[in-house]
Structure 1
Amino acid sequence: MTNPDTRPLYERDPDAYRAHLAEGNANQARKRVAADALIRDDHGRVLLVDPTYKPNWDLPGGMAEANEPPLDALRRELAEELALHLPASRMTLVCVDWVPPHGPWDDSVMMIFTAGTLTPDQAAALRITDAELGAFEFCTHEQAQARLRPYVWARLYAAITAADTGTVAYLHNGHPVS
């Protein structure tokens, strides 16, 4: 009588194990991920952008591409859309918001990184370099609340609070999770 090989699959058949992992990866849920920036001027106003492809203003940033780290996606978007080149070392995660499925969209993970305060020269050098944007402006909190969709304002307000207190906000659809 022979003893069956009781070693785990990854030891007895590494190729079969890799195939098993690849199958699991192909069948697991995928999440959309976006990374936006909390950027302020020397008056404490927040930088907003006016996308040409949707109503309402938004934060600068955008969707990550497949297999792109969120911080890299943010830096790419800032460079592509506003000619703003900021080092990764200047950016700190301040908000993560899980957004449930809505309309035609599956759920997503939205992140906000603080990028600090631009100098007057940096702010003056901003320019639109992508047709996806129609305008940008530094806004007071009241102006931002009026221009943003309510859930985006809630996310931004949580990010501002977190940045100012040195914490990270974790939200579900714009609301703090207790």
Structure 2
Amino acid sequence: MTTSESAAPGTNEVLPAEQYVAGLARKRMAAGVLFRDKAGKVLLLEPSYKPNWEIPGGAVEADESPWATATRELAEELGWERPLGRLLVVDYVRPQDSRPEGVVFVFDGGVLDETDLVGMVFTDGEILSAGFHSLDEARNKVKPLLADRLAVALHAAEQGATALCEQGQRIA
């Protein structure tokens, strides 16, 4: 096969590269940032457009890396321009609620305190408030999948590791 040809999945048929690539699976991706305080509470944002709280982050756009997404979302949601820390979690999420399968990346934002939140202004109306919450409090504010992912991310931050997850459950 030449570099412009590939085998069709499950066959020996040779397809032009464009046709082969068009038939590959697509996965949605998202990226978020875990900020915590000295007591291990996590920073959660209260969105105006849905009932569940979130960590800073969002969907990866076309031709955008997950780390660029996390940086962009910090600027859009919080007006913060700060470097990301290391990757804490890679979580494979099965299809659910009419959403296709996906991969979620969580980066370390570091340790903050209440003074970092003083004077926050949410100009575009997307975010209503932000605050630190214990993992137990977070479980009452976020979706169960995110709560599980947060627990793994906190542990990964403490251990200096990167965790691989499936559906919010650590596999490695």
User: Which bin holds the TM-score, normalised by the shorter protein?
Assistant: 0.7 to 0.9
Are 1:70 and 2:66 an aligned pair?
A: yes
- Give 3-state SS (helix, strand or coil) of 2:118's partner: helix
Q: Which runs of 5+ in 2 are unaligned?
A: 7-14
Report what 2:10 is aligned to: none
Identity of aligned residues (%): 35
Normalised by the length of structure 2, the TM-score is 0.86
- Of 39, 48, 52 in structure 2, the residue corresponding to residue 52 of structure 1 is 48
**Deviation above 6 Å: which 4+ runs of structure 1?**
none
Report what 2:92 is aligned to: 98
- Higher fraction of helix: 1
Specify the code of the residue in structure 2 equivalent to 1:75.
T
Deviations 1:5-56 (A, max 9, x none): xxx424xxxxx54982222222211111100111123443211011122221
Report what 1:85 is aligned to: 81
Report what 1:3 is aligned to: none
Q: Distance in 2 between matches of 1:146 and 1:137?
A: 14
Deviation larger for 55-64 or 38-47: 38-47
- Give 3-state SS (helix, strand or coil) of 1:9's partner: coil
Deviations 1:123-168 (A, max 9, x none): 3253323322222111122221221121110000000001100111
Within 5 A, what are the aligned runs for 1:37-48?
37-48=33-44
- Paired positions, count: 164
Report what 1:4 is aligned to: none
Q: Which runs of 5+ in 1 are unaligned?
A: 1-7, 11-15
- Contact 1:35–1:74 (8 Å) recurs in 2: yes
Q: Distance in 2 between matches of 1:131 and 1:25?
A: 39
Q: Distance in 2 between matches of 1:109 and 1:100?
A: 9
Q: Distance in 1 between matches of 2:171 and 2:37?
A: 30
Normalised by the length of structure 1, the TM-score is 0.83
Alpha-carbon RMSD across the aligned residues, in angstroms, is: 2.0
